[in-house]
Chain A
Amino acid sequence: MRRLRRFLKSFFLVDILRGLAVTLRLYFSRKVTVEYPEKVQEPAPRFRGLPRLYRDEKGEPLCIACKLCQRACGTNCFDIEGKRKEGAKFMRPEKFDWKLDRCTFCGFCVEVCPTSAIRFSPEFRLTGVRKDGLLFHRDQMYLLGDDLQDHLCGGCRRVP
């Protein structure tokens, strides 16, 4: 009896019809993809995008050129030189080079920074068309995401 049932099931292609039913049901289901350049899925708050330097409310740079990030970095992304101006309280970076092509986005630089000067921006578009576009100097590190994007690649700008 069970063998007969199995034979009938197999003869009438029950397994295949069940599969076809699943795909047909999903044909009408909600689609999960996002149409990228028009719609952008916003990254999570903790997203590790392009790191950038921040200033405080008064516009003063937060970075004190302590080079902790340089030491924490496992892939030698940073090249920092600091200098204390006459009468200034803290050192400030004279040179702050950061190399995108070396970065692994591990987050050590952000974790060790004592003044929270370097933090991750939500910028996830990292394409560059030239190699020197992947080297960021101090002034570029203070720029916001979209301005940084000018530096990288003009082709894939977000549609407003």
Chain B
Amino acid sequence: MAFREIDLNMGPQHPSTHGVLRLKLAVDNEVVLRVEPVLGYLHRGMEKLWESLTYTQIVPLTDRLDYLASLSNNLAYCLAVEKLAGIEVPRRARYIRVVLAELQRLASHLAWTGFMANDIGAMSVLLYGFEAREDILDIFEEYCGARLTVHGIRIGGAVHDLDGPLVSRIRAVLERIPKRLADIRSLLDENRIWKERTVGIGRITAGEAIDYGLTGPPLRACGVAWDMRKDIPYSSYDDFDFDVPLGTNGDVYDRYLVRLEEICQSIRIVGQALDGLPEGEFKAKVPRVLKIAPGEAFHTIEAPKGVLGFTVRSNGTDKPERVKMKSPSFINLQSLEHLCQGNLFSDVIGILGSLDIVLGEIDK
């Protein structure tokens, strides 16, 4: 039975569109012909809202963008404001930020592994990933009292100091994660079904990936060594010794391997940062009412999803004139149609999952 091209609406309520994304698919039987993402179901007018808030009041709202990696958003925004205001962040604060940001990367990647596996049907991995992530969220709760929308990084530094008990707790968690990871890997890595569902699916070449503006793990899975932490180091990342994992094929399987390897690298970075935690202040002296002379600054970081950037323009008052966000999920989503072309309907879910999008960040 052959039926010609039908339009299929995936979302905004669908089990695996990762939130309220709507995909307009044109499918011929099971083969996908066109994919059109429809956005805006989670639009909250963030960028406009920020114009009516002071620089400090914006920070907790950045938590709500990429809610699986709220500390990365905090960090990117704070770095942009610090660049604009010329605030020098103490070295200890920079290290604490690295610890927090890398823990957040761990949490985000672990959650991704779970979601991705669940999309492809391995439902247990979801729980294993979440179990490991829960340990990290417990650390965040211990550190600043919140688990998801953490608000743990402030302009000029961090919100609290990292004290001894917390450091040893982080170390204990870091030792537990590789065990969990080994379970996940023995469930998925060699599994024939997993490989059939991921190897060679959603391939993109390095050149095309650069043309589409892909960043983060999807770009590195094509073999392009572009990592902000290495290439344009910020927040003392150049003090640490770590590798940038690269893939070769640029398919879903390579994105999976790159993310899992990044988890190992993040564990390394956190360990080094805790070992070399310098003495000093954990927060720079920042005036309570921060007024910044007219100017503009742009700062990017390597967020778990890709290159996250904030442009902040000031006008001399305590509120920004304009804050613009360059969100990695939004830009990575552009390539979806290219990745899905000619694949089967089932693969759309895997490919969408492999891009690791978060709708809070796409719709802003």
Query: How far is B128's CA from A25's CA once the two chains are assembled, in angstroms?
Result: 13
Query: Residue on A with the closest CB to B130?
Result: A32
Query: Residue on B with the closest CB to A19?
Result: B187
Q: Are B149 and A105 in contact (CB under 8 A)?
A: yes
Q: A32-B134, A104-B149 are in contact. Are A74 and B143 (CB under 8 A)?
A: no
Q: Are A15 and B192 in contact (CB under 8 A)?
A: yes
Q: A74-B60, A74-B61, A108-B57 are in contact. Are A10 and B192 (CB under 8 A)?
A: yes
Chain B residues bordering chain A, tally (CB within 8 A) = 30
Q: Are A107 and B124 in contact (CB under 8 A)?
A: no
Which of B57, B145, B288 counts the most A-chain CB atoms under 10 A from its CB?
B145
Min C-beta distance of A116 to chain B, whole Å: 16
When A and B form their complex, what is the total count of cross-chain residue pairs whose Cβ atoms lie within 8 Å? 66
Q: Are B142 and A32 in contact (CB under 8 A)?
A: no
Query: How far is B146's CA from A44's CA once the two chains are assembled, in angstroms?
Result: 9
Q: Is B46 part of the binding interface, using a Cβ–Cβ cutoff of 8 Å? A: no
Q: Are A19 and B146 in contact (CB under 8 A)?
A: no
Q: A10-B192, A74-B57 are in contact. Are A26 and B183 (CB under 8 A)?
A: yes
Q: Which of B61, B145, B187 has a CB less than 8 Å from the CB of A48?
A: B145
Which of A14, A19, A43, A120 counts the most B-chain CB atoms under 10 A from its CB?
A19
Q: Is B261 part of the binding interface, using a Cβ–Cβ cutoff of 8 Å? A: no
Query: How far is B52's CA from A60's CA once the two chains are assembled, in angstroms?
Result: 37
List, in ascending order, chain A residues with CB within 8 A of B141's CB. Answer: 43-44, 46-47
Min C-beta distance of A41 to chain B, whole Å: 9
Min C-beta distance of B285 to chain A, whole Å: 15
Query: How far is B151's CA from A18's CA once the two chains are assembled, in angstroms?
Result: 41
Q: Are A16 and B53 in contact (CB under 8 A)?
A: no
Q: Is B43 part of the binding interface, using a Cβ–Cβ cutoff of 8 Å? A: no
List, in ascending order, chain B residues with CB within 8 A of A120's CB. Answer: 145
Chain A residues bordering chain B, tally (CB within 8 A) = 25
**Which residues of B59-77 have CB atoms within 8 Å of chain A's CB atoms?**
59-61
Q: Are B191 and A19 in contact (CB under 8 A)?
A: yes
Q: Is B56 part of the binding interface, using a Cβ–Cβ cutoff of 8 Å? A: yes
Q: Is A106 part of the binding interface, using a Cβ–Cβ cutoff of 8 Å? A: yes
Q: Is B190 part of the binding interface, using a Cβ–Cβ cutoff of 8 Å? A: yes
Q: Is B244 part of the binding interface, using a Cβ–Cβ cutoff of 8 Å? A: no
List, in ascending order, chain A residues with CB within 8 A of B187's CB. Answer: 19, 22-23
B118-156 interface code vs A (CB 8 A; 1 in, 0 out): 000000100010010010001001111110010100000
Q: Is B160 part of the binding interface, using a Cβ–Cβ cutoff of 8 Å? A: yes
List, in ascending order, chain B residues with CB within 8 A of A105's CB. Answer: 146, 149
Min C-beta distance of B260 to chain A, whole Å: 16
Q: Which of A19, A26, A43, A104 has a CB less than 8 Å from the CB of B60?
A: A104
List, in ascending order, chain A residues with CB within 8 A of B186's CB. Answer: 18-19, 22
Q: A15-B191, A19-B191, A32-B134 are in contact. Are A106 and B145 (CB under 8 A)?
A: no
Q: A74-B61, A104-B60 are in contact. Are A22 and B183 (CB under 8 A)?
A: yes
Which of B58, B143, B288 counts the most A-chain CB atoms under 10 A from its CB?
B288
Min C-beta distance of A70 to chain B, whole Å: 12
Query: How far is B141's CA from A114's CA once the two chains are assembled, in angstroms?
Result: 24
Query: Residue on B with the closest CB to A47?
Result: B145
Query: How far is B131's CA from A32's CA once the two chains are assembled, in angstroms?
Result: 8
**Which residues of A91-149 have CB atoms within 8 Å of chain B's CB atoms?**
104-108, 112, 120
Q: Are A74 and B53 in contact (CB under 8 A)?
A: yes
Query: How far is B143's CA from A46's CA once the two chains are assembled, in angstroms?
Result: 7
Q: List 11 A-B contacts (CB under 8 A).
A: A14-B190, A16-B191, A19-B186, A26-B128, A43-B141, A44-B142, A46-B144, A46-B145, A74-B54, A104-B60, A107-B60
A-binding residues in B (CB < 8 A):
53-54, 56-61, 124, 128, 131, 134, 138, 141-146, 149, 151, 159-160, 183, 186-187, 190-192, 288
